[in-house]
Structure 1
Amino acid sequence: MALSRIWSAFIIVAIVVAGIKCFFFGQSDIFNWMVVGKADDAANPLKMDGVIETCWTAVNICLKLIGIMALFMGFMSIAERAGGIRLLSRIISPFFSRLFPEIPKGHPATGHMVMNFSANLLGLDNAATPFGLKAMESLQELNKDKETASNAQIMFLCLHASGLTLIPVSIIAVRASLNAANPTDIFIPCMIGTFITTMAAMLIVSYKQKIRVFQPVIMAWVLGISAAIMMLVLYLNTLSADGLQSFSGILSNGLILLIFLLIILGAVYKKINVFEAFVEGARGGFETSVKIIPYLVGMLIAISLLRTSGTFELIISGFKYVFTALGTDTRFIDGIPTALIKPLSGSGARGMMINTMTTHGVDSFAGRLSATLQGSTDTTFYIIAVYYGAISVRNTRYSVGAMLLADLVGIIAGIFLAYFFFG
């Protein structure tokens, strides 16, 4: 119900804002812009397409997802038959059994979630989505009310949406292409920012679900993972931009191939019909990809209307007016649009980040802040639409509120980190 109200509010607000612009400010072409759209305008990344183009975009996303989903879901099916997912579940169960008390020990959902978190950590978006959707399907098997999100699904999705990523390769690549003096100088702020967002998501949902976070087992796992990440961050910080991208490529792509190899070897050892298992899993990936099309179309249309109507620009202008009136340091406001758009549109946020860098300078405070914020949050509403749509959950309960609150913590942390590192 909450998501339904938010979606309705997006459409109503966008059309009302467009109507005011049309009838009171003489912008007579705004309705045509909202429906049909225009060519991509690099100077204004908030306006790229109308609802018709957005429908095509949503379907194209799902069509491209079919092949990726078929590939990874096929290998997941092999791993399940060979017992690999259950083995991974048993290894991580001491931690997950406390954070996800509703999941039985050794259940495959635990292994699927670990695979998703690992892929996210390495920035493997193509792999993270199939693993995440498989995790949601596994959790749905345990869900008594199939149309209402369970506690475990909410916890998983909020942690997933926090977007914990070790190496923000795409952001570093953009900065390098714009001739930044040191393209990797946003690496540590991004890493710390996304880690804070993840911890905030865990604490927020744990508080809501009355989970005691400060248990010895949970704290040991969190501190251990934090220490491992910090050591890797310290090593990666010694690498150049080219060295970092090379290391990232070897680590991420090499890990995918290693996983494939281990799955096949395990299946052969267990005498599994490998190809049959792959085809069965791939068929499920195809069905899931097609199933999410209506949900993705609906959410992207609402977001498109907000962008093309000028609602985003109005909100950003309001922020500038308020903080200027308060007499505070307003340097951060030029980098804020990226964070405001990120929960709604990944491509829009990326466009705004590039626009901020080209307008104010790639090495300016605003440019670095926008890069930090781009790496500290994730596309909340896209994730909600795809993941809940895949399992036909209609009542998302407090999922959206928890994710947005975690995003807000990430934005505030990103601003403080930018002032600390780039002053």
Structure 2
Amino acid sequence: MVLSRFWLAIFVSSIVFIVGGLFTSYNYSIDYVLNGKKGDPMQVDEQYLQNLPAFIQDSIQKSPEKTFVLNQVTSDADTTYVYKNQSVKIYSGVQASDGLLPTCKSSLFDIILPLIAYLAFFCGLMELLIISGAAERLATKLSPAFSKVFPSVPKNHESISYMTLNFAANFLGLDSAATPFGLKAMQSLQEINPDKDKASDAQIMFMCLHAAGLTLIPTSIIGYRAAENAANPADVMLPCIITSFIGTIAAFILVGIKQRINFKSASLVVALMTVIGGIVGLLFYVNSLDLIGKNHFTSNLSGLMLVFIIGFTLVFSFINEKKFVASKTTIFDAFVTGANNGLQTGVKIFPYVLGMLVAISLFRNSGLFEMITHGISFVFSHMGVAKEITDSLPVAMLRPFSSGGSRGFMIDAMRTYGPDSFTGRLSCIFQCSAETTFYVIAVYFGSVNIKNTRYTLGMMLLVDLICVITAVLVASWFF
């Protein structure tokens, strides 16, 4: 209910702002909202040539392309005058996001189709894990700890193995594998959900832990920093790990208090200390490497682990081939069956993804998001918050809505202020240590037809806020 109302609020407020801007001359045209593409120049006016200043008229007439660019400054959008068909069209700035119709198209071709491919492959592997008995064994090993975090989940339930694989994939930066594992976990949890229209406690806990985005190897962030010629692309790795870990602990505590979880359980404490010990050990190892060693380690660990998961699944399935025979199938046929289930899941979640992305497109193109961002930055700057922090806030604000949008702000911050500036580094930490909350809720709950998400949205946004505050403190400590 909360998500639905928030979605409606985004739509209605954006439309009102767009239409109001047209009648108040804030917008010259609203066609860009429907058909424009990200990065396209924005038309702000149209004039007859003779109505323009004389120096602009002369410049246009002397130009072979009948075009004149004014105030060409690398840090600002140019104002461009284009003479065509007896009038001069004036452009300034670029479009923040794809329009409604291009968003519909890109949602299918750039998001859903790749996602369906990932789902098909990894759901095929998960079918092998189920029939071979690997998932059951993993669940049995982890049940003592998971039964304390998810008390409503039966002992040795298959959802435990799926959640473990999802957390592990996120931990290693394997986004393509994390989503299929997570969707399978949600579907498995839905089977034991007594109220199919309402999110269960276990589903909410899983979503909030997922939202914290505990990451060990932020491979994509390191790659973007390397592309922007950072002196040490991996220098934000430790702050990203600390921030996401604190966010994960905060999510567990907050949701645990809400769900009355027993925090004094010995098995829970042991599991938590084991995770902390593993992270600290890896941090010590990574910090002991030189720059080239760090780059080599971080660029290969995630890929190596993914290859290991695939190889282990296939080898374990071959060793336990008798179980496939007992199930009247073969290893390959079981993979195909799982892949087909992944395909159906991808088709099922498409409307949820489409609805959310279109709303975000309107929100960004309306100018309302930019106005809110500037307003918040203005307030924080007058509260004494350093400019280096306020300059990076757009990344933190857009992250819950759009990963691609916040990534664009992150890259822009590095290019504008430098990848080794405080703003550039903080923007990277913001991008790494939070989740695309609204997209994730739409995908995960949409895959199991959950109508009432209860307190999930509020709790996930609170976790995002904690990650933002932690990121600022950690970045200030390190840099």
1:190 is the counterpart of 2:189? no
Please say which of residues 94-103 and 179-188 is displaced more in the overlay: 179-188
CA distance in 2, matches of 1:253, 1:185: 20
Question: Alpha-carbon deviation of 1:352?
Answer: 0.3
**TM-score calculated relative to the size of structure 1:** 0.95
Relative to 1, partners in 2 of residues 1:32 and 1:230: Cα closer, same or farther, differing over 3 Å? same
Q: 2:144 aligns with which of 94, 99, 110?
A: 94
- The answer to whether the Cα contact below 8 Å between 1:45 and 1:351 also exists between their aligned partners in 2 is no
Aligned positions of 1:360-371 closer than 5 A: 360-371=417-428
Provide Cα deviations, 1:176-218, integer angstroms capped at 9, x if missing partner: 1111122221111111111111111111111111112243221
| Residue 169 of structure 2, aligned match among 112, 115, 119 | 119
The correspondence for 2:103, drawn from 40, 54, 60, is 54
Contact 1:335 1:356 in 2 (8 A): yes
SS at match of 1:234: helix
The letter for the 1-side match of 2:302 is S
Q: Does residue 37 of structure 2 align to residue 38 of structure 1? A: yes
In the TM superposition, 1:198-347 aligns within 5 A as 198-240=248-290, 242-270=292-320, 271=322, 272=324, 273-347=330-404
Provide Cα deviations, 1:374-420, integer angstroms capped at 9, x if missing partner. Answer: 11111011100111111111111111111000000000000111111
Larger Rg: 2
Aligned length: 421
Runs of 4+ in 1 over 4 A off after TM superposition: 41-46
Unmatched 5+ residue regions in structure 1? none
Are the counterparts in 1 of residues 139 and 157 from structure 2 also a CA contact under 8 Å? yes
Using the alignment, how far apart are the partners of 1:184 and 1:268 within structure 2? 39
Q: Name the aligned partner's letter for residue 292 of structure 1.
A: I
For 2:317 and 2:374, the matched residues in 1 are separated by 58
Equivalent residue number for residue 19 of structure 1: 19
Q: Deviations over 1:122-163 (max 9, x none)?
A: 000111111111111100110111111111111111111211
CA contact (8 A) 2:234 2:295 kept: no
RMSD value, Cα = 1.7
Q: TM-score, normalised by structure 2?
A: 0.85
- Give the corresponding residue for 1:378: 435
Q: Deviations over 1:71-114 (max 9, x none)?
A: 11111101101111010001111110000001110110001100
Q: Distance in 2 between matches of 1:311 and 1:328?
A: 23
Which letter does structure 2 place at the counterpart of 1:353? Answer: M
State the structure with bigger RCO (CA 8 A, min sep 6), 1 or 2.
Answer: 1
Equivalent residues of 1:46, 1:352 under 8 A apart:
no
Q: Distance in 2 between matches of 1:192 and 1:336?
A: 19
Q: Unaligned stretches of 5+ in structure 2?
A: 42-76, 78-92, 325-329
Letter in 1 for 2:199: A
Higher strand share goes to which structure?
Answer: 2
User: Could you report, residue by residue, the CA deviation over 1:4-58 in whole angstroms, capped at 9, with x for unpaired residues?
Assistant: 00100111121222233322343222x2222112342697787121111111121
CA–CA distance in structure 1, aligned partners of residues 439 and 385 of structure 2: 33
1:77–1:328 CA distance, 2 compared to 1 (3 A): closer
Amino acid aligned to 1:352 = F
State the secondary structure of the residue aligned to 2:391.
Answer: helix
* Distance in structure 2 (CA, Å) of the matches to 1:313 and 1:11: 16
Greater share of residues in helix: 1
* Residue matched to 2:82: none
Query: Residue 292 of structure 1 aligns to a residue in which SS?
Result: helix
Shift of 1:238: 3.5
Give the alignment of 1:407-418 within 5 angstroms. Answer: 407-418=464-475
Give secondary structure in 1 for the equivalent of 2:153.
coil
